[in-house]
Amino acid sequence: MPSLKESEVIKPVEIKPHSTEVKIAQRFSAAANSYQDHNKLQRLSAASLLSGLLVKGNLLDIGAGPGTDFSACYPNSLTDKPSSAIFAVDIALGMLHKLKQSYPDYHGVCADAQCLPFSDNSMDVIYSNLALQWCAYFPVAVAEMARVLRPGGECHVTLVAEGSLHQLAQLGLRMNKFSTLEALKTAFKLDIWQHLDVQLIPMTVYFDTLKALLYSIKGVGASVQSARASTAVADRTPRLRGREDWQRIQAKAEALRLPEGLPLTYQIVQIRARLNT
């Protein structure tokens, strides 16, 4: 199947992002250079999501960050890749600059997942790893995925869900709530999607120090305080009054230490679905 040219796929749209999306874009752009030093969870989740991904035709990566290597996802690299194109969308321009350094052949597009600048029925596969939980209106993002996918096209998505980061609450640090598994699942309407496979996968990452644990969150840009409590994590930097406060939190963290290190547990929802034909 011949791939569509970039000019045939990307369409101009007027984007008026919420102030929350602007802040998210700024934070992730600022984190672009440090992102890959702190993205333990993202790498763990990507390994799981990529294991079930086969690509034929155009691939859209939503929330692409500094980029993902999809080379192992093509069943026959000699016949599939030349007839395919990879479109990488991110709301943070800084992330796309970083992506282009590693993946110059990808088509980087700065856009919001809730208003994708692509033509209807232009994509064959959508991949999104730990990005769509930042959307103010997740069902809108799901509707946009359905719009740009061809009939029979697939989406492979992971999101952070309710019940994540319980260790932070134990330390007395602030965090907002994530959407529930049921809320994420019901965004995929059964009259539009088929073969809906939803899994809740706990993933724990470990750190040598409390500072490293906190930077794993802030270092990937995930430190935005949002009024929409179901879609974003709050700034987890503790409001400390002095050295004693920091030592107190460190003592609490050390009480949680396991042989592997200080744990931070996420509840990851993995969704695979196919658009009705």
Structure-model confidence comparison of residues 83 and 128, the more confident one: 128
pLDDT score, position 131:
92
Report the alpha-carbon distance of residue 130 to residue 233 in Å, rounded: 13
Q: Cβ neighbours of residue 149 under 8 Å, at least 6 residues apart?
A: 121, 123, 124, 126, 155, 275
Residue type, 150: R
Would you say 200 and 269 are in contact if contact means Cβ atoms under 8 Å apart? yes
pLDDT digits (tens, 9 = 90+) for 69-120: 999 998 775 455 556 799 999 988 888 988 999 999 999 999 999 999 999 9
pLDDT digits (tens, 9 = 90+) for 12-43: 444 455 566 665 555 555 545 555 555 788 88
Among candidate residues 144, 118, 152, 110, the one with its CA nearest the CA of residue 5: 118
| pLDDT over 70 (residue 8) | no
Report the alpha-carbon distance of residue 101 to residue 93 in Å, rounded: 13
Residue type, 262: L
The average pLDDT across 239-247 equals: 71
For residue 193, the SS3 value is: strand
Q: Is 67 left (phi over 0), alpha (psi -120 to 50) or beta?
A: left
